[in-house]
Amino acid sequence: MMLENQTLAPSDGYVTADGRQIGGVMMDLRNITLRFGGVEAIKDISFDIREGEIRAIIGPNGAGKSSMLNVISGFYVPQEGEVWFNGAKRPPTKPYQVARQGIARTFQNIALFEGMSVLDNVMTGRLRQMSSGLFSQALWWGKAQTEEVENRAAVERIIDFLEIQSIRKTPVGRLPYGLKKRVELARALAAEPHLLLLDEPMAGMNVEEKEDMSRFILDVNDEFGTTIALIEHDMGVVMDLSDRVVVMDYGRKIGDGTPEEVRNNEAVIDAYLGVSHD
């Protein structure tokens, strides 16, 4: 399978090394440039994310990975370039509007409500699905009641799936780091995203926690068909998990392809793989 240099047409799918069928383009980033004053964090980068794939963005510190994830999530609007999602060009959009379009994310520094239970934290991920008005919710009427039951059921399914039943009533502040990360994943999944963005999902984890998180990411992709884009420093994890990898360095794209292709790319070896990280 040769994927380097975007040889696929937008509607083409491909079959992964482990035999999964990947679909056409879901998100297309075209000639994205993002500046902070005089700093060009992203310089004319193009790549796509396809239905059902696990796509990684890697690169040394300061390469522009977080900036790119923030462009995808709508947090930053690039000065140049276009973001296409599900076949339509996305106008400058607020993150909450992006969330409504089916994109959810986790954060590098965990962003949970520490005093609230695991269950309540995961429930906050359902806000997008709650459409009934405050008045009927307050009175527990009709649609609001049905919604509440559906939301609870969906959240319980995710809690089971991520194997956090035993801590569902525990305040998040009391949990070890690895479990907090899992709760954050649960909250993002509660939104039933089509595209899930993971910002360094393994950062700060021990080997066992990393193995667990890798398994859950693969299971989410497999079980729910969720498309996943992630930033990750741990190269072993990236190479094991990802179908395709974009490599950034000093704001530029220097590689794009399967883990195997990227591993053998001279520019990538020079810029990143030869450099010890963390």
Query: φ, ψ for residue 138 (rounded to 5)?
Result: -65, -35
Minimal distance in Å, beta carbon 247 to ligand ATP? Answer: 11
Binding mask 61-100 for ligand ATP (x = CB under 6 A): xxxxxxx---------------------------------
**Least distance (Å) between residue 61 CB and ligand ATP:** 4
Cβ 233 to ligand ATP shortest distance, Å: 7
Between residue 14 and residue 53, which ones bind ligand ATP under the rule CB under 6 A?
A: 36, 39, 41
Taking the least distance from each CB to ligand ATP, the nearer of 64 and 102 is 64
Q: Residue 153 in contact with residue 126, Cβ under 8 Å?
A: no
Token pair 């035993």 is found at 166
Number of residues counted as binding ligand ATP (CB under 6 A): 11
93 with 99: CB under 8 angstroms?
no
Q: Which is nearer to ligand ATP, 71 or 144 (CB)?
A: 71
Tell which one of 8, 52, 59, 179 touches ligand ATP (CB under 6 A). 59
Q: Which is nearer to ligand ATP, 59 or 78 (CB)?
A: 59
Q: Burial code of 25-35, b = ≥16 C-beta within 10 A, e = fewer? A: bbbbbbebebe
Shortest distance, position 60 Cβ to ligand ATP, whole Å: 7
166 touches ligand ATP by CB under 6 A: no
Q: How far is the CB of 195 from ligand ATP (least distance, A)?
A: 19
Distance CA 260, CA 239 (A): 8
β-strand pairing of 25-36 with 39-50: antiparallel
User: Which residue lies nearer to ligand ATP by CB, 161 or 250?
Assistant: 250
Do the Cβ atoms of 51 and 176 come closer than 8 Å?
no
Residue among 11 and 61 whose Cβ is closer to ligand ATP: 61
Strands (E), the chain: 14-15, 21-22, 25-36, 39-50, 54-58, 80-85, 88-89, 103-105, 195-199, 227-231, 244-249, 252-257
Longest dimension (CA), the chain: 64
How many CB atoms are located within 10 Å of the residue 21 CB?
Answer: 10
CB 252 to ligand ATP: min, Å = 11
Q: State in angstroms the smallest separation of the CB of 42 from ligand ATP.
A: 8
20: DSSP letter: P
**Residues binding ligand ATP (CB under 6 A):** 36, 39, 41, 59, 61-67
